[in-house]
Amino acid sequence: MAVGIFDSGLGGLTVLEAVRKRLPEQSFVYFGDNAHAPYGVRDAEDVYNLTTAAVERMWEAGCDLVILACNTASAAALRRMQERWIPADKRVLGVFVPLIEALTERSWGDNSPPREVAVKHVALFATPATVASRAFQRELAFRAIGVDVEAQACGGVVDAIEDGDLILAEALVRSHVDALKRKMPHPEAAILGCTHYPLMHDTFQDALGADVKVYSQANLVAESLADYLERHPKMKGSGTESLFLTTGDARRVSDRATHFLRRQITFQSV
């Protein structure tokens, strides 16, 4: 059995790299729905249908546990999937909760009532679909009170990163940070609510200023997954090999992924 890592494109590879380092004994299947990327500009119904189709494909590949390493899918589809779609012997987890647990200084799985936390002003940078879903604010409200969240939809950043145009990506990030700061001049913390955005972490940090704590997801998700597998050992697999699947052109996606991670990655088309 392998753990599945799903994303609409290449951004989830940042999560895969973190969990591989944290769990070197675990096998993984990475699934990129590159033929339909990016999800961030799609409506919620479209995201739900694409995500469920991808998760079913990962179940067929032997992944009883799937991580939605796509914030848009986590925001727009996960709750609906968990409430009415996922069978009892499968698990699908998102990437928002580990981030919010870190922000609110909670232990993994702490479901105590919401309470006041140190951070009061939080900037959220995410795709248009994630921002529209308000999923981050909803999950935060389960854990904290008195936190002001200002969300900024970062149109174009994912496309620029996927195309390898980091000059354009940097210019867009700085523009989006400027727009956010016009609405919230002094954020105390910033959430990078897309798994592509860690590649632009230094640009976000520079544009926001050294006094703003910037949270990105990969390492937090890795620690959360390690904790989850300790508590649910039946979800652990054996072996250390990773399989890479894509709905896109395997050669093109492999080339971009190799450039993305700076190591050889070979995808198979499905």
Do 117 and 23 have their domain in common? no
C-alpha 13/C-alpha 92 separation (Å) is 18
State whether 24 and 115 are in the same domain.
Answer: no
Q: Are residues 128 and 200 in the same domain?
A: yes
Question: What is the average pLDDT score of the chain?
Answer: 93
pLDDT above 90: residue 111: no
**In terms of domains, do 201 and 223 share one?**
no
For the chain, the domain total comes to: 2
Q: Cis link prior to 38 (omega < 30° from 0)?
A: yes
CATH number, domain of 59, equals 3.40.50.1860
CA distances, 249 to each of 36, 40, 66, 255, 264 (Å): 12, 20, 23, 10, 16
> Which tokens hold the place of 248?
């896109």
Q: Is 194 a catalytic residue?
A: yes
Quote the pLDDT of residue 108.
66
Classify residue 150 by its DSSP letter.
E
Per residue in 257-269, pLDDT tens?
Answer: 998 888 999 999 9
Same domain membership, residue 164 and residue 67: no
**Tokens 């589809």 sit at which residue?**
77
Same domain, 73 and 126: no
Question: Token digits for 179?
Answer: 């727009």
- Which residues constitute the domain of residue 117? 97-215
- My answer on whether 85 and 42 are in the same domain is yes
Contacts 24+ apart (CB under 8 A), 258-265: 259/164, 260/10, 260/13, 260/199, 261/13, 261/17, 265/13
Annotated catalytic residue, options 78, 158, 194, 212: 194
> Which residue in the list 70, 97, 147, 265 is annotated as catalytic?
70
Asked if residue 34 has pLDDT above 90, the reply is: yes
Q: Is 70 a catalytic residue?
A: yes
Whether residues 80 and 185 fall in one domain: no
- 222-254: per-residue pLDDT in tens? 999 999 999 999 888 666 678 999 999 999 999
Q: For residue range 164-183, list pLDDT tens digits in order.
A: 899 999 999 999 999 999 99
Q: Supply angle C-alpha 138, 206, 215, rounded to 5.
A: 30
| pLDDT score recorded for residue 110 | 78
Residue 107 banded pLDDT, cuts 50, 70, 90: confident
- Which pLDDT value is given to residue 269? 95
Sheet of 242-246, strands arranged across: 91-93, 65-68, 3-7, 28-32, 242-246, 268-269
> 23 and 52: one domain?
yes
